Amino acid sequence: MVLINKYINVKREEDTYMREYFLKTERLGFSIWHSDDVKYANSLWGDENVTKFIVANGKMSVEEVQNRLDREIDMYRQHNIQYWPVFLLQTNEHVGCCGVRPYNIQGKTLEFGIHLKRHYWGKGIAQEASQAVIDYSFTNLEVSSLFAGHNPKNRDSAKLLNKLGFKYTHDELYKPTGLQHPSYLLTKEG
């Protein structure tokens, strides 16, 4: 079940404030990246376990992480979408990000993606977060299809995309890795 426009307390080391979750599942809350989320961005994209499949050299510098955060914030300003930060509702822990970005605007196709911290792998969180973003994209964003790709060495991503109903269509060059990534499409009709 997905709920929209709920407010949840998020406790940070320095204070407690109300963090808005525009989307919720049973365990997860989806928020919007803000400039003060550097700590969360560093703990996600600063971890080589996460970035080994998304950038060519397998790791991101502090500056590259900041640039990635800035791009996500800018993406939201321009398009009202991003790879949204995801938190556990019960503990307020940041688990990663999951969302969409422009791919083929004229064709009403967005690119889907998910990055989770290693501690949360294998716990069903990827599938739960992904399904929520898929449902949100087709219902609220009114897209006709979602595109997704993965590093050819990342078998877990291939399994997840297949479980979610994505169909392989072709290989496509992904500039950040310099590799041909297996690419998939999921249409509203299934």
Q: How large a percentage of the chain has pLDDT more than 90?
A: 86
The Cα 130–Cα 134 span in angstroms is: 6
Q: How large a percentage of the chain has pLDDT more than 70?
A: 90
C-alpha dihedral, 63 to 69 to 72 to 74, nearest 10°: -70
Average pLDDT for 38-47: 97
The chain-wide mean pLDDT, for the chain, equals: 91
Query: What are φ and ψ of residue 158, in 5° steps?
Result: -60, -45
pLDDT of residue 19: 81
**61 burial via Cβ count (<10 Å: 0-12, 13-18, 19+):** exposed
pLDDT of residue 190: 62
Average pLDDT for 1-25: 56
Instruction: Answer with the residue of higher pLDDT: 24 or 17.
Output: 24
Q: For residue 63, what are the contacts with CB-CB under 8 A and spacing of at least 6?
A: none
Q: How is residue 38 annotated by DSSP? A: H
- Residue pLDDT, tens place only, 120-156: 999 999 999 999 999 999 999 999 999 999 999 999 9
pLDDT for 18 beyond 80: no
pLDDT of residue 12: 40
- Residue pLDDT, tens place only, 80-127: 999 999 999 999 999 999 999 999 988 899 999 999 999 999 999 999
The Cα 81–Cα 37 span in angstroms is: 17
